[in-house]
Structure 1
Amino acid sequence: MIKHIAIVSALVLSANLACASNFYQISPNTRLVGEESVYKLDANGTTTLEYVASEYKLGLSNMIEANPSVDPIVPLKGTQLLIPNRLILPDTVHTGIIVNSAEMRLYYYHNGGVEVFPIGIGQLGKSTPINWVTKVERKRANPTWTPTAATRAEYAAMGEPLPAVVPAGPDNPMGLFAMYVGRLFAIHGTNADFGIGLRVSHGCVRLRNEDNEHLFNIVPVGTRVEFINRPIKYTIDSLGNIYIEVHQPLSRSQSEYENFEKDAPFSFTQEDLAFFKTPGINQDILKQALTERSGRPVLLNPPEF
């Protein structure tokens, strides 16, 4: 009887994961997963990019990159939006949680697949870690928040003084659930209805509340967590197709941050430079991908007729 219940529970979990739009089965033949789609804004109503991003488990930055000509605050009625839910999995171990700050996504590998969530990260000067391996040290429902002295001074200067400890509850900036990684950072929810896909936190990883609660319930203490900063991802599948996915690099100055500069320079790694020389890559397409930074996988060796 117990064995039967366990089997049924596993089947239900698998069915739920299969239905989730952000869960992808992993194939040994490719790191390219997901599919793009199109969302047409109501011709008679008012819809924001944030609303559409939330519906498709994307961050605002993902929508802005894929739809650069669309006003993110008041998009034109009837506009067709590209939903960039096709992506390349980061070239790192497919274990536990991977946080790629550059694309503002969190990956959780489990049950033979991966769930992908949009995140908010640290503001300029209060950065989320970008090259660090740690683990989930502990979890807490209804967390309190103890702001640092610098944070309290910052809020006081804005006319919003903070107590020494912000009590648990819906008004707490950490939301209702928190997973603590290392000693100074956490993966948590929010008390705001915006900010996912943006640099808004004081260094922690912020998720929409429903995503955060879901992760909190399924991620065990001790889970490996890796922070990376890879605005450029690429892969070659088993058929020889070569793909690249390019995101805007994290801003390093106030000017880049405020202006979302499309020409902010990349810091190419040796691996990046070696990949760019891969035989078969159409260099014109590569150059265009690095310029447009659409956050979408681009085929670099299409058939030539």
Structure 2
Amino acid sequence: MSIRAILTLVVAAAAFSQTALAVVYPLPAPNSRLVGENIQVTIPSDSTDALEHFAAQYQMGLSNLLEANPGIDVYLPKPGSTMTVPQQLILPDAPREGIVINSAEMRLYYYPKGSKTVVVLPIGIGQLGKDTPINWVTSVQRKKERPTWTPTAAMHAEYAARGEFLPQVYPAGPDNPMGLYALYIGNLYAIHGTNANFGIGLRVSHGCVRLRDKDIKYLFDHVPVGTRVQFINEPVKATVEPDGSRYVEIHNPLSRTEEEFNSETPAPLKLTPVVTKVLADASVSESAVNQALQSRMGMPTKVNGAEENIAPIAPAVPAAPQAPAIQQTNAPATPDNAQPAAPQAQPTITDAAPAAAAATDASKS
């Protein structure tokens, strides 16, 4: 029997399909931002699968599962243990239009025009020092199936310094670090696939946005050229729901320096005016807010009303890890020379199906 067949699902609301790839949420009312429900899964007693297996199955990035399950073993989650899959979330404080990429939570939100839904996909982002943009509005300039990839001179030097030598041009195909599909944004970046089975929910790229193969295929098939793309960096999200409930969702902020990345001390959090206003209400429990700030579990926590809705205290988890250098296969590139309330509605999972182009595809990858 497959892992998928024997995983036990405990769903708070109506069951939804696990047979597909993109998690699709019905859009809430304009005055609501809370969507979805968390689920609990039981790791099979005979499982030998790494956490990435379950992350891919439930459309999560590794960082999402690590935040929601402090102490979980990334190589072998304990057989028979229960794991939280954080499928409840607060929509970003951004227009519900086109694509919104929140680097802090390593999620991509796609609002299909006229659909009254939002598609949420996990992503990999740029390594420390090769950061994905965090405050930028652009658009999809062009799309390409089977992109080639041309490493930049800086990339050749970087790899050569550790004894690895890159070809001048990676041909299209399954071994190409950009995967099989690419959406080029601006002149230097792309949203693209991968030739590796890791890296989603990690800081592994050279600035581009990386998705699992079937997720980038979905975007390639459904996102029109010209679609608005907004990059944000929002580790703390908050909402006041129509029934007066107040929620906060806290992720670890992205490390800005090597010192921050290697520090045992969690990086400081900066609360935006929107978040501060949500938390300033007299109904908000200070202890609930402090618990959420301490645990940083990446899931919405109710901070007013009944105590049982408050997430338990858990040790702070480290900032989103970077993949070991030896495993990094993605590299930057230079577009055909670009550098590569009422109860919440339950999400469903569905099959996820410019600059002038020069001679070869490239992006910061």
- Fold similarity call, TM over 0.5: yes
Per the alignment, residue 152 of structure 1 pairs with 156
Alpha-carbon distance in structure 1 between the residues aligned to 2:306 and 2:78: 36
Per the alignment, residue 72 of structure 1 pairs with 74
Per the alignment, residue 305 of structure 2 pairs with 302
| 2:125–2:132 CA contact under 8 A, matched in 1 | yes
Q: How does 1:144-183 map to 2 (within 5 A)?
A: 144-183=148-187
Question: How much does 1:253 deviate?
Answer: 1.7
Pick which of 110-119 and 263-272 moved more.
Answer: 263-272
Per the alignment, residue 250 of structure 1 pairs with 254
Question: How much does 1:271 deviate?
Answer: 3.2
TM-score normalised according to structure 1 size: 0.90
Per the alignment, residue 221 of structure 2 pairs with 217
| 2:239–2:278 CA contact under 8 A, matched in 1 | no
| 1:254-297, Cα deviation, whole Å (9 max, x unpaired) | 243346x5621113333333333123111110011011100010
Per the alignment, residue 87 of structure 1 pairs with 89
Residue type at the aligned position of 1:49: L
Which of the pair has the greater relative contact order for Cα pairs under 8 Å at 6+ separation?
2
Question: How much does 1:131 deviate?
Answer: 0.3
* Residues 202 and 98 of structure 1, relative CA distance in 2, 3 Å threshold: same
Per the alignment, residue 3 of structure 1 pairs with none
Q: How does 1:38-187 map to 2 (within 5 A)?
A: 38-110=40-112, 111-187=115-191
Alpha-carbon distance in structure 2 between the residues aligned to 1:181 and 1:123: 19
Per the alignment, residue 227 of structure 1 pairs with 231
Alpha-carbon distance in structure 1 between the residues aligned to 2:189 and 2:306: 47
| 2:22–2:121 CA contact under 8 A, matched in 1 | no
Pick which of 153-162 and 221-230 moved more.
Answer: 153-162
Secondary structure of the residue that 1:249 maps to in structure 2?
A: coil
Residue type at the aligned position of 2:54: V
| 1:145–1:168 CA contact under 8 A, matched in 2 | yes
Alpha-carbon distance in structure 2 between the residues aligned to 1:296 and 1:304: 16
| 1:227-276, Cα deviation, whole Å (9 max, x unpaired) | 000000111111000001000000112243346x5621113333333333
| 1:177-229, Cα deviation, whole Å (9 max, x unpaired) | 00000000000000000000000000000000010111110000000000000
Residue type at the aligned position of 2:280: K
Alpha-carbon distance in structure 2 between the residues aligned to 1:106 and 1:256: 25
Alpha-carbon distance in structure 1 between the residues aligned to 2:228 and 2:277: 29
Per the alignment, residue 263 of structure 1 pairs with 266
| 1:15-59, Cα deviation, whole Å (9 max, x unpaired) | x9xx86610111215211111111111112212111111001000
Alpha-carbon distance in structure 2 between the residues aligned to 1:292 and 1:135: 35
* Residues 38 and 185 of structure 1, relative CA distance in 2, 3 Å threshold: same
Question: How much does 1:103 deviate?
Answer: 0.1
| 1:138-158, Cα deviation, whole Å (9 max, x unpaired) | 001111112111111111122
Per the alignment, residue 12 of structure 1 pairs with none
| 1:263–1:291 CA contact under 8 A, matched in 2 | no
Alpha-carbon distance in structure 2 between the residues aligned to 1:39 and 1:159: 43
Residue type at the aligned position of 2:107: R
Secondary structure of the residue that 1:68 maps to in structure 2?
A: coil
Per the alignment, residue 273 of structure 1 pairs with 276
The root-mean-square deviation of aligned C-alpha atoms, in Å, is: 2.1
Q: Which has the higher helix share?
A: 1
| 1:109-161, Cα deviation, whole Å (9 max, x unpaired) | 01111000000000000000000000000001111112111111111122221
1:198 partnered with 2:199: no
TM-score normalised according to structure 2 size: 0.76
| 1:41–1:79 CA contact under 8 A, matched in 2 | yes
Residue type at the aligned position of 1:108: Y
| 1:246–1:295 CA contact under 8 A, matched in 2 | yes
Identity %: 53
Secondary structure of the residue that 1:115 maps to in structure 2?
A: strand
Per the alignment, residue 290 of structure 2 pairs with 287
| 2:283–2:305 CA contact under 8 A, matched in 1 | no
* Residues 262 and 208 of structure 1, relative CA distance in 2, 3 Å threshold: farther
Instruction: Give 5+ residue unaligned stretches, structure 1.
Output: 1-15
Per the alignment, residue 348 of structure 2 pairs with none
Alpha-carbon distance in structure 1 between the residues aligned to 2:155 and 2:272: 34
